Every structure is written in structure tokens, then in C-alpha cells.
Amino acid sequence: MYSYSNFDAAFVRDRVKEFRGQVERRLDGSLTEDEFKPLRLMNGLYLQLHAYMLRVAIPYGTLNGAQMRQLAHIADKWDKGYGHLTTRQNIQFNWPKLKDVPDILDALADVSMHAIQTSGNCIRNVTADHFAGAAADEIEDPRPTAELIRQWSTDHPEFAYLPRKFKVAVTGAPNDRAVTKAHDIGLRMVRNKAGEPGYEVVIGGGLGRTPMIGKVVRDFLPRADLLAYLEAILQVYNLSGRRDNKYKARIKILVHETGLEELKARIEETFARNQTLLEPVDAGVVARINASFAPPEWDRRAVPDIPHLDAGFRSFLDTNIAAHKQSDYAIVTVSTKPIGGTPGDVTSEQMRVLADLAERYSHDELRISHEQNVILPHVHRADLAVIYGRLREAGLHTANIGLVSDIIACPGMDYCALATARSIPVAQKISEAFSDLQAQHDIGDLKIKISGCINACGHHHVGHIGILGLDRAGVENYQITLGGDGTETAAIGERTGPGFAYDEIVPAIERIVNAYLDIRESAEEAFLDTYRRVGAEPFKAVLYPESNKANAA
């Protein structure tokens, strides 16, 4: 794992001090509320429906046990004893008081953490494959690239007041677990014909009210050119992106309105100039970053046979374990989505259990996934049974990864000032409707994603089943999209038709799932495959039986 240099440590302390000063200058009138707003946002502080919310950065989702334990401490001391994992691999605290925030930031700095650029119109916390450095299918660990981008983008003087927020994701595996095609910039680590490492660069992806799949702007970018190329994209965007309408200000709209070829020409022209002007990245910095992500020293123990598995452990092994590079190791995904729970909420007690498990059994590493779960990336298979036991005691053993109740949901109207409908209760009710885990296993791989407004924080556009909560004349109304996909075969889901009332949405989802079970060719044909084979019609037929009858009449 990356550990802070003296410079990193001094930098985050300076930023805490600066923010403390900004809070004071807001209170003494030096800063107006309008002027203070972007400054607090760039330090992760939102004003929500009921209170401030602090979003803490977990760069590319990686943290260690001591850091997780400190998050537990912060939750207990300054919040209500829990935190919420986000779809950008961060953690949010929902109830901090403004006067406490500088102290919270200092507590974060104590364990090499911060809340910088987790909000605002700047380059946000860079995300990466949550199985980085562990996944069996990985070509290369994306985290050294993500860390380099973190350093480059932090407090970048040119790019702190962009037209709109800017998100970058990196993947080093052919199976895209980082939703790179729905980012402002998505980077896929590839090799060219000569076998040299580089990146495929995708721009202009995004969800929100105008969902778009990113487009390839560069097939192969040599690794050494990365920052010069990113600078070029950002400079072109900063100078040409729309500032007249915040809903048209993301780079995806610039790509759409300018055209990929024209924009590419401008980027390449700026890049060519950058190549001659910008100093190359210091080799010592790169070497230090690379060294910090060297694999841990693997533990060589026998993997014992466990003759009599109990049913719970067996289904946990079925769903929550992924293949590791080392055949005697496993990647364990811990679900934060017990039946009827709030997706992504973790109590301070659970955080401490996870910290402890990471330190003892996962080479002191944890990951947060954009699917709001927690990952123990390096677990020796001999330790799986004892880990399962500890997770069960902590209520963290739900065996539902990738299944119908492993739902992504934004905070929705329970917390968020922008929301137009509730998300969390819908997730809870769906999860209760499918409470039988055995039935969930039969249904198989099915991603449901719920957003409580058009800004799409719950990624509903890329859910196999997406749910979008809107406000229709003061009444919650939920639209359904089908066929979305956030992986390397990315697709935006298609709307089925009119929305459903709050008390109709869960039965509607049940009808979709039952229809799938009826028409799938075999248990091996996953929901998304069935949808791609038969299209939306059979699902519309069960969603809107009345209009069907009307058509037939």
C-alpha cells in the first residue's frame, strides 16, 4: 500500500490548517456564503437535508486496518456511530457539526487520510478496480497509475475551478469492475503490439441526466505520456466546456456537441505541445509509487479440506469469494447489504471487526468497492472459515454478492438535498421481498441499482434493472430501466415505460424477476443475457398488463 511521504503528510496538514482558517474567515465575514461554498466542497463538506455531510476520500478504495479503525473512532466521536460507503469508493459521515470538521480532518491526517477534492468542480478522487493487485484476471495493477493521478490532480492550480466535476477511473483487467466507460476519463491498461505498456483512453462517459458511454480518444497512449495527455484533455475542457448551464457542463456534453474528431484534434495539438514543454515525471517518484504496491509476502500454508460445510458458509463461498492471482488465496467481498439493511452503511463496531480481520488475515489491506461493499483482498484459503465466523458474529456474513439483494442505492430523500424520492427504503423492501437467499442464488447474477433523482448517484443507468425515483406533482414515482451494464460491455439501460408508485415498485420488480425465471433458457443464462436475447417486450408485458390488454382489444 502507498504510505505517505513527508511531503504528503505536510501537505494534508497544511490543507487542514487552511480549511480551519476558511471556516474562521466565513464566520468573520471575509468570505460570503457563495465564496465559502466551493471551498468547503473541495474539502468534502456538503450541506445536506438535515445536516452537513463529510465525504472522506479513500483513494482508489484502498485502506489499511489503522485507517478503518480511525474511521470507526470518527463515527463514534463526531457522528452517530456509523458511516456510509459510496459509489466512488469513499465513506460519508452524515451528521458532523461544522465546528468539528477541522478536528475531524486533523484526525484523518493522523492516519494519512483526507477529504480533499471529494466534491466540487475539480478532479475528484480517482477510482480503480477494487480487486486491484489481487484479481486472477489482472494484466497489471492499476493502483500505481491511480496514485500518480492522485498526486498530479491534488491541488492542481489550473484545474480547481472547472466547468463541472471531473471523474477518472483506471482498470488493469479485461473485466472492467471500475465502470471506466461511465467516467469523464476512463483508462484501461493495455499493451501494444510490441508488448509495451500503455493506456486506452476513453473520454466523455457519464451518467446523470444525460447518460453516455465514453468514447475512445486514444487507442494506445505510452505510459510515460499519461500526465501530459491528461493535462491536454483537462486544459481543452477547462477552456471550452460549457459554463452557461450546469447540466450541460460535463465533458460528455462537450464531446457530444463538438464531435469526437474535432475535440481529439484539439487535445492532440495541446498534447504535442505539452510533450515538448512539460518535464517528464521524476523517475524517483514513479519508482517509489511502484515499490509501495509491490505484492505482499505470500503465506505458504496448506489449504485444509473442510469436509462438512454448513449451508451458510457454503453459500458464502459460492457468492462472496473471487479468484485470486495466488491459487491458495482468495478475495473475500463482505456485503454491507443484509436483508432489509441500508446498502453501504457500516457501524463503528463493524469497522473495527473489518480492521481486525484485515490486519490478521489480509496483509493489512481493505478495499471499498463502488458497489458499496468491503473487500479483504488477500485472504489465505485456510483462513476462510474463521473469517466467516467472525463476519457472522458482526452481521457481515450476508452471502449475496452480485445477487438481487446486492443493491446499489444512493442516500435518496432520507439524507440528500437533491433527491426527489426515497432510495434506501426501496432497496430495503426489494431485499425483503427476495429474503430467501436460496431463491436469490437461483435467480443468479442480477444487479439492481437505485437513484433517488436524475443525477444518478445510484448508477441506475448501468443496472441490469435500474430504478429512478422522481417527483411527480409531489408524489414519488419510480421509472424502470432494463439492460444497463457497467462493465467492458457497457450499455445504458432502456426505459420500460410509465413509472410506478412507491407501493407498486417492489411488486413490479418481482414481476420482472419472475418473467426472467420463466423465459430464461437455462439457469446458466443470466438476467442480462436473457434480456439481450429477448429484448424488453416480455418484461413490458408483465409490467403493464393493462395496456397489453388494451392493445389486444
Partner 1 sequence: MSQLINKTGFIEDDWQGEILPFDAFWNGQDLPEEEPFGVAIDVATDPFDLQPWFGRVDMIVIPFAGFADGRGFSLARKLRQLGYQGRIRAQGHLLVDQFRAAMRVGIDQLEISDDLAARMPEHQWKAVPLSDSYQSHLNAA
**Single-letter code of the amino acid located at 148:** L
Contacts with partner 1, 102-131, as mask; x by CB under 8 A: -------------------x----------
For residue 63, what are the β-bridge partners? 366
Residue nearer to partner 1 on the CB measure, 285 or 303: 285
Of 6-14, 64-72, 322-330, 393-401, the segment contacting partner 1 by CB under 8 A is 6-14
**Single-letter code of the amino acid located at 304:** P
Nearest approach, Cβ of residue 88 and partner 1 (Å): 20
70 membership: H or E segment, kind and range: helix 65-78
Give dist(CA 78, CA 309) in Å, integer: 42
**Single-letter code of the amino acid located at 500:** F
* Residues between 148 and 187 that touch partner 1 (CB under 8 A): 148, 151-152, 154-162
Residue nearer to partner 1 on the CB measure, 7 or 545: 7
Nearest approach, Cβ of residue 42 and partner 1 (Å): 9
Residue nearer to partner 1 on the CB measure, 5 or 548: 5
DSSP 124: P
CA-CA-CA-CA torsion sign (387, 390, 396, 399): positive
Give dist(CA 208, CA 211) in Å, integer: 6
Candidate list 281, 303, 306, 454; residue touching partner 1; CB under 8 A: 281
Given a contact cutoff of 8 angstroms between Cβ atoms, the answer to whether 170 and 129 are in contact is yes
274 near partner 1, rule: CB under 8 A = yes
Give dist(CA 103, CA 78) in Å, integer: 9
Residue nearer to partner 1 on the CB measure, 244 or 524: 244
Residue entry with cell 410509465: 498
Residue nearer to partner 1 on the CB measure, 281 or 385: 281
Residue nearer to partner 1 on the CB measure, 92 or 270: 270
**Single-letter code of the amino acid located at 51:** A
Candidate list 3, 14, 27, 291; residue touching partner 1; CB under 8 A: 14
Of 25-33, 134-142, 191-199, 377-385, the segment contacting partner 1 by CB under 8 A is 25-33
* Residues between 186 and 245 that touch partner 1 (CB under 8 A): 227, 235, 238-239, 243
Nearest approach, Cβ of residue 536 and partner 1 (Å): 42
Residue nearer to partner 1 on the CB measure, 39 or 385: 39
Nearest approach, Cβ of residue 238 and partner 1 (Å): 4
Give dist(CA 51, CA 31) in Å, integer: 21
Give dist(CA 386, CA 392) in Å, integer: 10
List of residues 6+ apart from 33 with CB closer than 8 A:
26
Of 282-290, 297-305, 371-379, 483-491, the segment contacting partner 1 by CB under 8 A is 282-290
303 near partner 1, rule: CB under 8 A = no
Contacts with partner 1, 351-390, as mask; x by CB under 8 A: ----------------------------------------
**Total Cβ atoms within 10 A of residue 472:** 13
Candidate list 49, 260, 278, 536; residue touching partner 1; CB under 8 A: 278
Given a contact cutoff of 8 angstroms between Cβ atoms, the answer to whether 229 and 201 are in contact is yes
Residue nearer to partner 1 on the CB measure, 84 or 248: 248
Candidate list 1, 12, 16, 22; residue touching partner 1; CB under 8 A: 22
Nearest approach, Cβ of residue 244 and partner 1 (Å): 11
Residue nearer to partner 1 on the CB measure, 165 or 449: 165
Of 15-23, 127-135, 172-180, 404-412, the segment contacting partner 1 by CB under 8 A is 15-23
Residue nearer to partner 1 on the CB measure, 243 or 495: 243
Alpha helices by DSSP H, 329-416: 348-361, 384-393
Phi/psi for 330 (5° steps) reads: -140, 155
Give dist(CA 504, CA 198) in Å, integer: 49
Residue-by-residue DSSP string for 196-249: -EEEEEEE--B-TTS-B--EEEEEEEEGGGHHHHHHHHHHHHHHHS--S-GGG-
Residue nearer to partner 1 on the CB measure, 258 or 372: 258
Contacts with partner 1, 26-65, as mask; x by CB under 8 A: ---xxx---x--xx--------------------------
Nearest approach, Cβ of residue 163 and partner 1 (Å): 8
Residue entry with cell 473487500: 375
Q: Catalogue the E-assigned strands of 109-182.
A: 127-128, 168-171
Nearest approach, Cβ of residue 285 and partner 1 (Å): 6
HSE of 210, CA atoms in CB hemisphere, 13 A? 16
Nearest approach, Cβ of residue 491 and partner 1 (Å): 34
- Find the length of the chain: 553
State the distance between the two ends of the chain, measured CA to CA, in whole angstroms.
65
Q: What angle, 0 to 180 degrees and rounded to 10, lies between the N-to-C axes of helices 6-27 and 101-110?
A: 180
Residue nearer to partner 1 on the CB measure, 31 or 541: 31
Residue nearer to partner 1 on the CB measure, 161 or 247: 161
25 near partner 1, rule: CB under 8 A = yes
Query: How many residues interact with partner 1 (rule CB under 8 A)?
Result: 41
For residue 153, what are the β-bridge partners? none
Nearest approach, Cβ of residue 495 and partner 1 (Å): 34
Given a contact cutoff of 8 angstroms between Cβ atoms, the answer to whether 406 and 400 are in contact is yes
Nearest approach, Cβ of residue 39 and partner 1 (Å): 6
**Total Cβ atoms within 10 A of residue 10:** 12
Q: What angle, 0 to 180 degrees and rounded to 10, lies between the N-to-C axes of helices 226-240 and 143-153?
A: 50
| Residues within the interface to partner 1 (CB under 8 A) | 7, 11, 14, 18, 21-22, 25, 29-31, 35, 38-39, 121, 148, 151-152, 154-162, 227, 235, 238-239, 243, 273-274, 277-282, 284-285
